[in-house]
Structure 1
Amino acid sequence: MKPAPNRATMRDVAALAGVSVQTVSRVLNNSGPASEATRRQVEDAAAMLKYEVNLAARALASKQSKTTGLLVTGEIRHGVARLFSALESELAARGRHIVIATSPTDNPSSLRRAISYLHGTNPDGLVVLARTSNILPVIAAKAQVPCAVVIAGRHETNRVSTVSIDQYDGAIAASQYIFDIGCSAPVYLTGDLRWQDAQVRLRGFQTVCTANDTEADWLIGDSWSSASGYAMGEELLSRGLPDAIVAGNDDIAIGAMHALYKAGVRIPDDVSVVGFDDIPQAKFQNPSLTTVRQDFTALGRTALEELDRIIAGEPRRHRQLPTELVIRKSTRPRPW
Structure 2
Amino acid sequence: MSPTPRRPSMGDVAARADVSYQTVSRVLNDPGIVRPATRDRVLEAIAALGYTPNRAARTLKTTRSSLVGVLNDGSSLFGPAETTSAIEAAAREAGYSLLLTSLPPGGDGERQVGAELLGSGVDGILVVAGHEGMTESVAAVAGSTPVVAVSAQPPQEAGVEVVGIDQRRGAHQVVEHLQRTGARSIVHVCGPTDWFDARARRGGVEQALDEFGLDGAIIGPGDWTPRSGYELTGDLIRSGPPEAIFAANDMMAIGVLHALHEHGLRIPEDVAVVGFDNTLGAEFLLPSLTTVAQPFAAVGRAALGHLVELMENAPARADPPQELAPRLVVRRSTRPERTH
Instruction: Please tell me the root mean square deviation across aligned C-alpha atoms, in Å.
Output: 3.1
Letter in 2 for 1:219: G
Partner of 2:102: 102
Partner of 2:60: 60
Shift of 1:83: 0.9
Cα distance in 2 for residues equivalent to 1:23 and 1:42: 13
Q: What pairs up with 1:1-336 in 2 under 5 angstroms?
A: 5=4, 7-10=6-9, 13-14=12-13, 17=16, 19=18, 21=21, 29=28, 31-32=30-31, 36=40, 38-46=42-50, 53-73=53-73, 75-104=75-104, 107=107, 109-132=108-131, 135-136=134-135, 139-140=138-139, 142-143=141-142, 144-155=144-155, 158-211=158-211, 212-221=213-222, 223-311=223-311, 312=313, 314=316, 317=320, 319-333=322-336
TM-score where L is the length of structure 2? 0.83
Structure 1 runs not aligned, ≥5 long: none
Per-residue CA deviation, residues 208-259 of structure 1 (Å, 9 max, x unaligned), is 23332524232321x2122332333333344432211101111211232123
Letter in 2 for 1:320: E
Cα distance in 2 for residues equivalent to 1:60 and 1:305: 25
Shift of 1:298: 1.4
Query: Residues 247 and 274 of structure 1 are in contact (CA less than 8 Å); yes or no, is this contact kept in structure 2?
Result: yes
Per-residue CA deviation, residues 172-230 of structure 1 (Å, 9 max, x unaligned), is 11123222322122221222332111121122222323332524232321x21223323
Query: Residues 209 and 216 of structure 1 are in contact (CA less than 8 Å); yes or no, is this contact kept in structure 2?
Result: no
Letter in 2 for 1:42: I
Mean Cα displacement is larger for which, 82-91 or 189-198?
189-198
Cα distance in 1 for residues equivalent to 2:11 and 2:226: 54
Shift of 1:37: 5.9
Distance 1:316 1:68, change over 3 A: farther
Cα distance in 2 for residues equivalent to 1:62 and 1:257: 57
Letter in 1 for 2:113: A
Aligned to 1:85, the other structure's residue is in SS state helix
Letter in 1 for 2:208: V
TM-score where L is the length of structure 1? 0.84
Query: Residues 132 and 195 of structure 2 are in contact (CA less than 8 Å); yes or no, is this contact kept in structure 1?
Result: no
Using the aligned pairs only, state the percent identity.
Answer: 33
Letter in 2 for 1:142: V
Distance 1:200 1:6, change over 3 A: same
Structure 2 runs not aligned, ≥5 long: none
Distance 1:152 1:201, change over 3 A: same
Query: Residues 153 and 168 of structure 1 are in contact (CA less than 8 Å); yes or no, is this contact kept in structure 2?
Result: no
Per-residue CA deviation, residues 4-34 of structure 1 (Å, 9 max, x unaligned), is 956524157438946555566567x475355
Cα distance in 2 for residues equivalent to 1:263 and 1:205: 26
Cα distance in 2 for residues equivalent to 1:17 and 1:225: 58
Distance 1:24 1:229, change over 3 A: farther
Aligned residues: 327
Shift of 1:91: 1.2
Shift of 1:87: 1.1
